[in-house]
A and B are shown apart, each in its own frame.
Chain A
Amino acid sequence: MTKKVYLHVGTPKTGTSYLQHVLFNNREKLLAKSIRYPADRFDGHFLAALDLMRLPWGGLEVDAIGAWDHLAAQVRRWPGTSIVSHEILATASRAQIGHALETLGHGGDTEVHLVLSVRDLVRQIPAEWQENVKHRAALPYGRFLEQIRDPRREGRIATWFWGVQEIPDILDRWGHDLPPGHVHVVTVPPAGGSPDLLWERFTEAFGLTGISLALDGERMNPSLGAPETALIRRINRAANEELEPADYRPLVRELLAHQTLSRRTGSPRLGLPPDVHPWATELEDAWIEEVRRRGYHVVGDLDDLRGAPPPTEYADPDHPDEALVSGAAVDALKALLLDNARLRHELARRQGDLEQTHRELEKAYLRPTYRWRQKLVRRLETGRAGRLAMKLYRRARGRSSRSA
């Protein structure tokens, strides 16, 4: 049997979290079919990607040290099929890609298959800006669009965007050493289709067809509407200076964005401004033509990469409906109040526990035998002979503590 590695390198916002969630939760079932998803924790492959690319990530890089080599060693040891998946791998350099392929066994007895899941730019562009905002960015949507459209592609925003989204370039970097038949491009179906269709495409690309897996969890990361994203951006602008990254993640990204504001599904969605639309469609057409020309294995339909026409009404997040923003702000305040109340109750409970412990400790100290022993030890510690006696006593007791 040929050893195979399916290496899924992106792109973000194409159902990758759901795929990784299913693979992680079904590791045992997959192993029974000789397929290994080597991860000890859900974000194991994310850490491996950080390590491969030496990417600092708000302190998480500490957990990532050595993670790629550990992952690659597990893949090399496994005689069957392995799956590696993380979307930030899309941005790896050619040197890092060379190292990744080599350590996974490419060039030896292993057949490496590259998988890239892709979605049209008309949806990806606003989704990427929103992701930036959920990672503390405070730049307006208009500036974001200007930066990614600037052909010089300087600055962190543009370099990251194109690094993880420019499909022909990602395929060129990652697929450079692989036969086109081993490069699988999975297209995300247009909005409104069957929710199972993308999963079916993933199963085909990863050779999982016919394996019964438990499918649960959110299919896509929850997304925010235009006023909600505008609100988070304003919060970033006001609080970035003072709010530590370790606090930002649970409070803003998780509590406010994911758990609270993403539930406001009735607000206008983020989209591409009508004047930017033709530029994006032109790129999409060029990418479709290029991917088709290269002869990769396409799972789905390359025409899925052509985004929907612009909506009749565009909701500009830089000039949002202020009534909707204040509605979102009230929801956010409510969520923070409830969370604060929960923490206060927790604090009161812990304070009660602590006071109880203090009382019990004091009771123990107040026993006459404790006071006598304490007095004796103090007296002994003042003289040389006493210290020697204490030393012998402690040695006999078998511990080094100097407390009485």
Chain B
Amino acid sequence: MTGEAETDGEARAWGWVSHLRSGGTTPWSRWADPAPASEQAGRYLPGAQQLELLRRLNQQRVPTPALAGRVLAASAPGRGRPDLGLVGVLARTRFGPAPVDPQDLPPDELVRVATALIAEDVVASGEPPAPRQVRRFRRRYRLLGDPELARPFREQLTADGRPPGGSGATVVVLGTDVERMLVHAWTARCFGTEGVRPWPEWVAAAARGGALPPRIDLAEVARTWAQRVGAGHTHVVLDDPRRGARLAGLRTTPGATRDLCADAIELARRTGPVVGTLVPPERRAQLLWHRLRPLLSGFEGATLQVPERHRPWLAERGADLRQRLARGDYAVHGDLPEVSVAAPTADRAGRPGHPVTVAAPDDERVLALAMQVLLGPPIGATDAAGEGE
């Protein structure tokens, strides 16, 4: 249906839509020109969130007409504020949410819209490569412990036809300092299938609960498996994860795993549940790992740290873990590293003044990252070429 503007404000709004579609960056508050009657087309005016996201994208780089159209037609997924009207378009009525100046919208609202589009792109990126057929003769192993250290090796072995498990398996429990492991445990949940609370809430709940999350309680994992497969078949590896990978049978190990930046993890946390409304859990986990993650690992930024107020708890947990590991009758390679006390003042690219760690992701930076993802090459295009190497 073709709508015809009923008020001057509406004609001005359609003019702004047209301006944004053609790559314009003028904010709504400074926009004055009405659209010609022929361009006042559309069933309804897009929401302020969608329009402002398009304007912000235009500021970065003009998106393709197809992407611009998708942004304007998108709905913010999940619960949250509905699509909002533009201030000054219609006379204020007593009904519906109050119209806004799009520039006043918090970045979080724009991230919501962006995650809908990123999730669609992730799903459209195609099936991740299937692992090769399971080898009949292979070393049996289980790679456990810190999920961010163990999973890349496990994925590599599985892709090569060597999935974990089987009788007589060597159990390798990978770990590092408790702070990094805690960040890794949350990261794994962000790329998982059940959703997880924001980092500050999650880490506060962990501290309230007292214990470390089960998968990074290395001593407990090792004790359980030593009982099942024998202490001689159980190794805890704390010094170099690649040593653990070799124990599991991986001959050529990749370089050290780089942690994702805080904002990238947060973007994954927010995109995952939307992907979960489009595909079943197993495929969601595969797509997040094989499609979204390689893309996000290419972005620079500060990594996460545990907020200062939880550090005493963290130190206590680290000491306790160290003691329990020392009491175990399984092999422990290396020592549990100490948690670093103060954060360096240069980022990973070495630029001074940029913090290398942050206590929480930042919505504005998450939005910037989401826009880079939307404007970048199609998801899966870069890593698909490298897959199977």
Contact = CB atoms under 8 A, between A and B. Distances in A.
Given A95-B75, A176-B43, A65 B278 contact: yes
Interface in B48-97: 73-83, 94-97
Interface stretch (B177-185, B269-277, B359-367): B269-277
Interface stretch (A164-172, A224-232, A265-273, A351-359): A164-172
A56 B43 contact: no
Interface residues of A, number: 37
Main secondary structure of the interface of A (DSSP, over half): helix
A106 B134 CA distance: 51
A159 B43 contact: no
B273 A56 contact: yes
Interface of A: 50-51, 53-56, 59, 61-62, 64-65, 91, 93-96, 98, 107, 151-154, 156, 159-160, 162-163, 166, 168-169, 172, 176-177, 241, 286-287, 290
A354 B83 CA distance: 56
Interface of B: 1, 43-44, 46-47, 73-83, 94-98, 116, 194-195, 205, 208-209, 273-274, 276-281
Q: Which 3 pairs of residues, A with B, have the shortest CB-CB distance?
A: A54-B77, A168-B95, A169-B96
Main secondary structure of the interface of B (DSSP, over half): loop
24 contacts: A54-B75, A54-B77, A54-B78, A55-B77, A59-B194, A62-B281, A65-B277, A93-B82, A94-B47, A94-B83, A98-B43, A107-B1, A151-B98, A156-B80, A159-B79, A159-B81, A159-B97, A172-B95, A172-B96, A176-B44, A177-B1, A177-B43, A286-B94, A290-B94
A59 B74 CA distance: 23
A92 B175 CA distance: 46
Given A93-B47, A94-B43, A55 B78 contact: yes
A95 B83 contact: yes
B137 to A, nearest CB: 12
A55 B75 CA distance: 11
Contacts of B80: 156, 159
A388 to B, nearest CB: 14
Contacts of B208: 241
Contact of B277 (A51, A107, A241): A51
Given A55-B77, A62-B276, A241 B205 contact: yes
Nearest to B97: A153
A239 B208 CA distance: 13
Contact of A156 (B77, B79, B280): B79
Contacts of B116: 54
A163 B154 CA distance: 45
A153 B83 contact: no
B79 A160 contact: yes
A138 B46 CA distance: 35
